[in-house]
Chains A and B, each alone.
Chain A
Amino acid sequence: MIQECKTLQGTAIPGIPGRLAVTLAPDCARLVLRLRPEGRAAAGTALGLTLPDRFGEVDESGERLAICLGPDEWFVLLPECEAAAADERMAATATSPFSLVDVSHREVGIAVCGPAATLALSSFCAFDLESMPAGSATRTILDRAPAVLVKHDAERYRIEVWQSFADHVWSLLAAVSREIALDI
């Protein structure tokens, strides 16, 4: 699968050793699944994941990640090479009507890691990241940009943001990195 528009490719934010690392996440396939709850188990099997049934819950295994964003909406990340097969399995095994849309090229994944990750993200996110449970995710707003935010654990986050907003979020991260590096 070809990533046609790579907004942030070639750019880098200097890390702060032992405190903060902001990096581009490797390319992956991104799928938006809309489905009535009764089809959840079958769809999970087809996608190779357990689709969580509560908002914000995440199922993660290796490079696969499924996030429940709403009562009938899941956001699924898969290794690039698995997307086509997952699509075919869904079509063959689904037990109820569904919509599965490949949005791989729409978004950029940004990994924000380190003890200062929560501090860095909190500077432009009104959502309470301190009390966000580890292993959860939500759609929220970063400054003005809609994004999906995954909290793997207290020091590891992943931002999924649209290509068109990625530059803005990236520059915010660059600015806040400098502030943290200088202890401002």
Chain B
Amino acid sequence: MLLITCPYCAAARPEIEFAYAGEAHIARPADPAALGDEAWRDYLYIRSNTRGLHVERWRHINGCGRFFNAARDTVTDKFAATYRAGDARPSALLSEGVQR
């Protein structure tokens, strides 16, 4: 079983306590009505489908209940970092991900 570090509980907890919640840092358009169909489709459905380091949302649903963000390698399943919702993605991790 994977151990995932919840940034709110500040502890490594069993994977079974967590729920995956899709790619992170996808901002909802401020004025959806102004968007064309394709832009709205892209917001709703188009995701990066990264092979390598992927920034994604998780929820510690059977723990503290908080949503947070995590950088996880989709090949190895290794978590590089977890950080609180609302924080910027760690730039060092991001550039590493681009190189893959």
A contact set with B: CB distance below 8 Å: 55-56, 69-71, 73, 126-127, 138-141, 146
Stretch from B10-18, B21-29, B35-43, B45-53 at the A interface: B10-18
Bound CA span A20–B87, Å: 46
Stretch from B60-68, B71-79, B88-96 at the A interface: B60-68
Q: How many residues of B contact A (CB 8 A)?
A: 13
* A69 near B9: Cβ-Cβ < 8 Å: no
Question: B30 at the A/B interface (Cβ < 8 Å)?
Answer: no
Question: B1 at the A/B interface (Cβ < 8 Å)?
Answer: yes
* A70 near B14: Cβ-Cβ < 8 Å: no
Partner of A146, one of B13, B62, B64, B66: B62
Chain B residue numbers with a CB within 8 Å of A56 are: 9
* B66 near A141: Cβ-Cβ < 8 Å: no
Chain B residue numbers with a CB within 8 Å of A140 are: 13-14, 17, 62-63
Bound CA span A71–B60, Å: 13
* B63 near A138: Cβ-Cβ < 8 Å: yes
* B16 near A126: Cβ-Cβ < 8 Å: yes
Partner of A126, one of B9, B14, B64, B66: B14
* A70 near B62: Cβ-Cβ < 8 Å: no
Bound CA span A73–B13, Å: 19
* B8 near A71: Cβ-Cβ < 8 Å: yes
Chain A residue numbers with a CB within 8 Å of B17 are: 126-127, 139-141
Given A141-B14, A141-B16, residue A73 in contact with residue B9 (CB < 8 A):
no
Query: Beyond the given A140-B14, A141-B14, A146-B62, could you list 17 further A-B residue pairs with CB under 8 A, ordered by the A residue number?
Result: A55-B64, A70-B64, A70-B65, A70-B66, A71-B8, A71-B66, A73-B64, A126-B14, A126-B16, A126-B17, A127-B14, A127-B17, A139-B64, A140-B62, A140-B63, A141-B16, A141-B62
